[in-house]
Amino acid sequence: METIKPLEGKRILVTGGTGSLGQTLVSRLLRGEMGRPARITVFSRDEAKQHYMRLDYMHRDAATDDVIYQNSQDLLTFRIGDVRDYPALVAAMRDADIVFHAAALKQVPSCEYFPFEAVQTNIIGAANVARAISENGLPVETVVGISTDKACKPINVMGMTKALQERVLIEANRDCPTTRFMCVRYGNVIASRGSIVPLFVEQIRNGKTLTVTLPEMTRFLLSLDRAVDTVFAAVTHGKRGETYVPKVKSANITDVAKALMGDKDLPITYTGIRPGEKVHEIMVSEEECFRTIERGDYYVILPVLPELRDEDDTPPALSAEYSSKDDNISGTELRALLSSAGGEIERFIAGN
């Protein structure tokens, strides 16, 4: 059976490509597992991150990573710009076939203190992507918006703006009939910048007290590669207006701290909930259940607008919300999941 290569020969733009998800996505695109792209362009506003990302690919060891090394020389380009800046975004998208829209303000407390900044990046940035295609007749085939579980029943600014980002992109299917707009929604990425696991690792290394907000706090946990798997599943099998949600494990955050400690016995202190923070995360709400189906290892939320849905007699996959408070893992299973993050986290657990 021939393997599907939906990105073969495609010109790809990754907004926010210097972020944790963006860098993992670019690395896997360069491996060619979805087909060899014609070009990959990283579009972001941070020149320092672009500089170090460029150097990383220039200096990779060709003897051990020859596919990525060679492809990075041939395929990878960088472009400074901001999704808030409509003309810059139009220029970057003008010759793109596929757009992975990962640019975002994603730190919950930062968005609480600077809510309009989150509006401009997370909502207006997404609107600019759709507007660029609609107003300029750009030949973009597919747009995948990277969302978050915090967009489901949002109680913080980050989640609210991401929820609107989802709606902006899904609705864009009406105005851009030749472009397939989809979203992916997932939970806490284990090794991403600013997440709790790297913080715990740093606290344990320094023999400090571990800080947890509340004893009841739970989170979905997945590796960066699992997040990229979700993006690739949407590109390969997704239909216009769908939102892909991975089936992943969840854990109590105190158990995460204990799993990372291993044999060490460091104190844990509870600091209280942060501005805008949820106790439990939800990836599919009870209101979305009736239009959620299963597709392999994913739940797929069908579009909220009925005119974007195909006739489908598939029964709903869920009868209740998909929440991190349910079916938590701990112990050996949790340590194995944390190790799946690879890199520094995997080495830390192996040596601890």
The catalytic residue positions are 150
Question: Per the structure block, which two tokens stand in for 89?
Answer: 């975004």
292-295 vs 249-252, strand pairing mode: unpaired
DSSP result, 259-298: HHHTT----EEE--PPTT--SS-EEE-TTTGGGEEEETTE
SS3 136: helix
8 Å CB contact between 291 and 306: no
Give the amino acid at 235: V
8 Å CB contact between 115 and 156: no
SS3 130: helix
Beta bridge mates, 218: 252
Rounded CA gap, 192 and 197, in Å? 9
| DSSP 8-state code for residue 77 | E
